[in-house]
Amino acid sequence: MLDAALALLRTGDWRVGIGIGRVRLPLPDVTRAVGGSAFVNARSGVEEARRHPYGCVVIADDARQTATIQPLIDLLLYFRGRRTDPGWEMWDLMEGGLSQKDAAARLGITPQAASRRALAAGVRLDSAARGALASLLDTADPDAAPVADSDGRGSGED
């Protein structure tokens, strides 16, 4: 989910809301009919993201989770917003599986220049931050369980 949000935000054309909470099951065929606090929070997050400087807002049922995760996402997005085009080029190659040395060869630059570019672009730091944020998001609401009635329809709780 985080990688998808970051890819959309990178285009500059999207605003993203990340909702953390319960999900009503079974999932309906129509997206607008989806229920549960996770979806309500995500919809609210999209609305708030329109006014947010980095275009992404996290809303969780537990405000402490929001207060923990939001500044970390903001920091990553701030950092990514300062990355240059050559830095993104290096990031793309290394994210695509090339080693720094192979990326240097592909770009026609020296390994030393590639090292400086990767460091300035924060390629390894970006990867580590995304991993940590993904783990936080995955464990943000361990007690939340899908909400369903005995007949398999949603309980009506949001």
Instruction: Note the pLDDT tens digit of each residue in 139-150.
Output: 986 555 555 443
Q: How confident is the model at residue 44 (pLDDT cuts 50, 70, 90)?
A: very high
**Tokens found for residue 99:** 């080693």
pLDDT tens track for 57-73? 999 999 999 999 999 99
Average pLDDT over residues 90-97: 97
The average confidence (pLDDT) of the chain is 90
What pLDDT sits at residue 55? 98
The pTM assigned to this predicted structure is 0.84
Average pLDDT over residues 26-54: 93
The domain spans of the chain are 1-83
Q: Using alpha carbons only, how large is the chain's radius of gyration in Å?
A: 19
What pLDDT sits at residue 144? 53
Q: Are 136 and 143 in contact (CB under 8 A)?
A: no
**Tokens found for residue 14:** 């999207």
What pLDDT sits at residue 141? 66
What pLDDT sits at residue 117? 98
Q: Are 19 and 42 in contact (CB under 8 A)?
A: yes
CA gap 51, 124 in Å, rounded: 30
Percent of the chain with pLDDT over 70: 89
What pLDDT sits at residue 143? 54
**CB-neighbour burial class of residue 151 (10 A; exposed 0-12, middle 13-18, buried 19+):** exposed
Average pLDDT over residues 119-133: 97
What pLDDT sits at residue 112? 98
Average pLDDT over residues 102-130: 97
CA gap 116, 93 in Å, rounded: 15
